[in-house]
Structure 1
Amino acid sequence: MTSSPVSRVVYNGKRNSSPRSPSNSSEIFTPAHEENVRFIYEAWQCVERDLRSQMAGGERGLVEEYVEKIPNPSLKAFKPVDLSDLKRRNTQDAKKS
């Protein structure tokens, strides 16, 4: 069995006081990372497609939305985040600076 070096992110308890600038934040993605993202994206697309077809046909299939029978009272004020909107706003803010 051959061992290859594996990088790990370790939190040392210190915070960087200066914010990262968008110009210095170029990220390098490994092929494995890109493959994982592609897998998750494609799997989610299948779930959404199956859910839409079930809703259109009124049938019950493999995809089922989970709904709690007794809602958690501490989540009463929870408001879902629209990730697409958040990303759009962050992109616009980065362009302004």
Structure 2
Amino acid sequence: MMPTAQMSSRGGPWRLYVALMGATEWPDFRWERPTPVPTITERRAALATLGFEQVPGSQWSWIEDTVTHGDDASPVLLIATVDVRELTGGAS
């Protein structure tokens, strides 16, 4: 199963992390700003820092959720996902 990178924000800083099955900690990167949304170039650089790259041909997809599950008045949580793979040699 291929790992997935996810990027999320609750209106504050953006966090990008790689969801690794069976791992106790996931590699992550933060942009300490609420706007603008990190560019694809910034995401690519952050993934490389973590030892991963976007799978060729895959695209970021976005979903919207609520901070409080089932509460439509709750603040929105934005989540983006993309398939990734380890860079040759892995994280440094």
- TM-score, normalising length from structure 2? 0.17
Report the structure, 1 or 2, having the larger strand content.
2
- TM-score, normalising length from structure 1? 0.16
Report the structure, 1 or 2, having the larger helix content.
1
Higher relative contact order (CA 8 A, sep 6+): 2
